[in-house]
Structure 1
Amino acid sequence: MNSAPLTATNLKSTEPRPAPKPQPIGSFPFILVLTTAMVCVLFIIWRRSDTLRTIVSHQLKTWMRQEGA
């Protein structure tokens, strides 16, 4: 067993180390998330309106044929 003399340099300190203070994340990540969410919402609205436009167009065409026949 190797017994080194106990000195101040080889003893672990029981004092906690000062932790770094948390920094704010800034506005760039928030803007990035907000922009991504808005693009997704606009895409969903566009897809739904495109589908609705196709359905209404088909309905109008079938009504026109029934009246004209």
Structure 2
Amino acid sequence: MKITDVKTILANRYLFVEIHTDEGPVGIGESGTWGVLDASMGAVEALKTYLIGQDLRHRAHWRLSGSSGE
């Protein structure tokens, strides 16, 4: 399952991130750094180029963000 797109959604004081795949499923999560949304958006955009085309199931990608991937 490959990542095809990464989108940010600014909603009031929150920043959500959509991860789109080539097999259809879309994942939605919240980006950290509450109150500094421009910085969070910049981090997501910086990682977007790296993530597109990668296998979504590979745990090493999620370690970039400090998440355990589980």
- TM-score tier by shorter-chain length is under 0.3
TM-score, normalised via structure 1 length: 0.24
Structure (1/2) with the larger strand percentage:
2
Which is higher, the Rg of structure 1 or of structure 2?
A: 1
| TM-score calculated relative to the size of structure 2 | 0.24
Q: Which has the higher contact order (CA 8 A, sep 6+)?
A: 2
